Amino acid sequence: MSVTSVNPAANATNEYYLTRQSQMESNVRSYPRKLPLAIAKAQGCWVTDVEGTQYLDCLAGAGTLALGHNHPAVIQSIQDTLASGLPLHTLDLTTPLKDAFTEALLAYLPGGKEEYCLQFCGPTGADGTEAAIKLAKTYTGRSSVISFSGGYHGMTHGALSMTGNLNAKNAVNGLMPGVQFMPYPHEYRCPLGLGGEAGVDALTYFFENFIEDVESGVTKPAAVILEAIQGEGGVVTAPVKWLKKIREVTEKHNIVLILDEVQAGFARSGKMFAFEHAGIEPDVVVMSKAVGGSLPLAVLGIKRKFDAWQPGTHSGTFRGNQLAMGTGLASLQVIKEQNLAQNAQERGDFLQAELKKLAQEFPCIGNVRGRGLMIGIEIIDERKPADHMGSHPADAQLAAAIQAACFNNKLLLEKGGRNGTVIRLLCPLIINQDECVEVIARFKKAIAEALKAVRG
């Protein structure tokens, strides 16, 4: 059977394919358990299953599909690359396509190619964070790392060590040593129990004091790694003053500052990179997901003074994915030409405003937050007493019911945050106003149905 002849079996159902998947794939699969469909085709913000049902996609490959599904520019790029005769994979040998992509990508980093160089890694965000940490240790000669509670940096051994969520870590002993976790500011659930600006100010002071206190008990780290917007951690946005202080302190002490932009990067936050909202320049930027224009690719942007590698001291077979460089270049061009950062900001502002209106009608929506088209909706049990900061307990059961009701209303989205109590929107950057209105209508219907099912 040729690839081009693979079509849905006659009269096959979602259940048919999901059953076969369960028979042939590992227990590790996760998305099919929450979004039980088999996809036949997709276009833009819409996905069609094998039964012909159409869904509005607010997951977009966990943010990978910045231009939505099968964007014409992406498809054309694949066709052009195939027709050009280029090899599909070149290790780290260069090609005219790689040259053009490299120059285009560097132009979006602060100072461009004068300040930064690129390192092509293995094809996932986790590969990128592993390389970034190795580079920081190589450059500084130090071995420890500071990461943050709620952060997500991947599932490989080193990356998992720097990830906050414990679910995947509890069963794995002997993770990378020397990782020190620190609290990350949270507008709804301040880790210091202060809340508001007082919480941000305290955490800002705490970080500086921790690094500079000769009695802190922790040796100076090689690197600090963080997300300017925590994605899997529940769409938690870093305050500008906190990020600025981290940049100031790491620069003062020659600590490599690594910004993980795997999910928040590439116009999703309303700017090309989420760290730009704070006006800072990281030493290393980790890029994946959208950087490859929907195909596997991971890239580091490295400030030139930190490029401490010797030739061949970090490699990866699939760092030369030519199709991904072609689709990545096409995506960068579309993002620029169509000003999709502005579209993300405007559509995101609309969605947040409408969700905050829904919170007046449905008080189980405890907090709406995010930037651009990276939005989190924290689900709470407002019937239970609030804490001293005014925050009610999270409601994991209702959040799961809302996700299921969204699926039943043909709206695809994911949960995140602690205990999966934050509904997350990661719409494609091309989403239009009418589609945003439809997202709100379907979500409103779903939350009403979920409340009835869970609470009567």
Nearest to 291 by CA among 247, 237, 264, 328: 328
290 and 257 within one domain: yes
Which whole-number Å values give the CA distances from 184 to 24, 42, 158, 238, 398, in the listed order? 40, 37, 20, 8, 26
Using the predicted structure, report yes or no on whether residue 129 has a pLDDT greater than 70.
yes
One domain for residues 365 and 231: no
Residue range 175-232, pLDDT digits in tens: 999 999 999 999 999 999 999 999 999 999 999 999 999 898 989 999 999 999 999 9
User: 0.85 exceeded by the pTM?
Assistant: yes
pLDDT at position 8, please? 72
Judge residue 307's burial from the number of C-beta atoms within 10 Å of its C-beta, 0-12 exposed, 13-18 middle, 19 or more buried: middle
- The reply to whether 191 and 274 lie within a common domain is yes
Domain containing residue 390: CATH number: 3.90.1150.10
What six digits make up the tokens of 363? Answer: 């008080």
Residues 254 and 295 in one domain: yes
Question: For residues 358 and 367, what is the distance between their CA atoms, to the nearest angstrom?
Answer: 11
Question: Where does the pLDDT of residue 36 fall: very low under 50, low under 70, confident under 90, or very high at 90 and above?
Answer: very high
CA distance 393 to 380: 6
* 329 lies in the same domain as 354: no
Domain finish residue from 288, 321, 337: 337
Domain tally, the chain: 2
pLDDT at position 244, please? 98
Mean pLDDT confidence for 97-109: 98
Residue 34 is part of which domain span? 3-64+339-455
**Domain end point (choices 305, 337, 369):** 337
Are residues 81 and 55 part of one domain? Answer: no
**With 80 as the cut, is the pLDDT of residue 2 above it?**
no
CATH code of residue 215: 3.40.640.10
pLDDT given for residue 393 in this prediction: 96
Q: Judge if 122 and 251 occupy the same domain.
A: yes
Task: Single out the residue in 317, 337, 357 at which a domain terminates.
Answer: 337
To which residue do tokens 């995506």 refer?
331
Q: Are residues 60 and 77 in the same domain?
A: no
The share of the chain scoring above pLDDT 70, in percent, equals 99
DSSP string, 364-423: TEEEEEEETTEEEEEEB-TTSPP-TTSPPPB-HHHHHHHHHHHHHTTEE-EEESGGG-EE
**Lowest-confidence range among 93-102, 162-171, 304-313?**
162-171
Q: Are residues 200 and 314 in the same domain?
A: yes
Whether residue 258 is found in the same domain as residue 343: no
44 and 97 share one domain: no
Say whether pLDDT at 446 is over 60. Answer: yes
124 and 270 co-located in one domain = yes
Per-residue pLDDT at 15: 96
Is the model's pLDDT at 3 over the cut of 80? no
Bridge partners (DSSP) of residue 57 are: 412
pLDDT at residue 166 in the model: 92
Cα distance between residue 279 and residue 23, in whole Å: 50
**Per residue in 236-272, pLDDT tens?**
999 999 999 999 999 999 999 999 999 999 999 999 9
- Grade residue 1 by pLDDT with cuts at 50, 70 and 90: low
| Model pLDDT, residue 5 | 62
Q: How far apart are the first and last CA of the chain?
A: 51
Q: pLDDT value at position 168?
A: 87
